[in-house]
Amino acid sequence: MFVPLGAIRRELNNLLSHAGFQLLRPGERDHIRSYVPFKETRDGARKAGLSVGDYIDQKFHVPGATQSTIDQMVGLGILGPKIQSVCEIGPGTGRYLEKAQRSCAPCSYEIYETDREWSDWLSRTYRVTARVADGTTLRGTSSGSVDLVHAHKVFVYLPFAVTFQYFSEMIRVARPGAWIVFDIISEKCVSDWMIDQWIANRTYSRCMLPRDFVIAYFDKRQCFLHSSFLGPAPWLSEYLVFIKDRNP
């Protein structure tokens, strides 16, 4: 019986993770990980008669969790007919992409996804432009070119320096008046119960960011906090919504 090398690697990494080790391809950066297997997830969604995004919500999260975040963005005026160009970091399975694209129907939608299988599938399925993803930059996107740059469940696990490099890139590609939207694990999100769960489940990849420091970082670069909201329970994260100043 043929067993894909990717499946073998994931199983070995599951075993090695308990000892604090991880198998990496030559030249691969340890902060770039593929948590959701492509073929297994796609086939599971087809069998369940669901979109991949709804299947992910049903299997791993709370049904409707993704849509509730999109509804918050719509309510704040972030998604709508004025959004003509979008850039998304780490769309993964496309569960936010699918619903965001439907809510604003942009002329241009660029993605940076490090998992090649998911990236290729997303570009075929949703007719988005998959840029070369190096895990730290948005180098394929022109400065001041997008109306909305967003990321979901990305900066909750990336290393601090990588996250802030992405923040700098988000500011660069956003045009004046554009929205910058992402979620972090802030002080509002962490509880003793959550920490106990992470330890019990050996979930060592979560990264908390200081909320005030993040806001000050954007403020110094003429991007001002518009609003914030908490993502769905039980795994809370806080969304920060910035607008890039029209007259920096």
Q: What is the per-residue pLDDT across 50-105, written as a single tens digit (0 to 9) for each?
A: 888 788 877 766 778 899 999 999 999 999 999 999 999 999 999 999 999 999 99
Whole-model pTM?
A: 0.83
Q: Averaged over 31-37, what is the pLDDT?
A: 59
Which range, of 40-49, 93-102, 130-139, 189-198, averages the lowest pLDDT?
Answer: 40-49
88 and 170: one domain?
Answer: yes
Q: Are residues 176 and 74 in the same domain?
A: yes
What does DSSP assign to residue 128?
Answer: -
Total structural domains within the chain: 2
- pLDDT band (50, 70, 90) for residue 113: very high
- Is residue 43 a part of any domain in this protein? no
Residues 76 and 192 placed together within one structural domain of the fold: yes
- Residues 97, 193, single domain; the answer is yes
Q: Which of 31-40, 104-113, 176-185 bottoms out in mean pLDDT, i.e. has the lowest? A: 31-40
Average pLDDT over residues 20-28: 44
Instruction: Examine the domain organization and report whether 66 and 26 are in the same domain.
Output: no
CA distances from 162 to 17, 159, 173 (A): 22, 5, 17
Task: Say whether both 136 and 233 belong to one domain.
Answer: yes
**38 within domain boundaries:** no
In a domain, 232, yes or no: yes
189-214 tens-digit pLDDT: 998 988 898 899 888 888 999 999 99
Residue 50 located in a structural domain: no
Per-residue burial over 211-224, b = 16 or more CB atoms within 10 Å of its CB, e = otherwise = beebbebbeebebe
For residue 28, the model assigns a pLDDT of: 43
The CATH code of the domain that includes 115 is 3.40.50.150
**Local confidence band at 234 (pLDDT 50, 70, 90 cut-offs):** low
Q: Are residues 119 and 11 located together in one domain of the fold?
A: no
In a domain, 42, yes or no: no
Quote the domain boundaries for residue 68.
Answer: 62-244
Shared domain for 66 and 3, answered yes or no, is: no
* Cβ atoms of 240 and 214 closer than 8 Å: yes
184 touches 240 (CB < 8 A)? yes
Q: Is residue 160 part of a domain?
A: yes
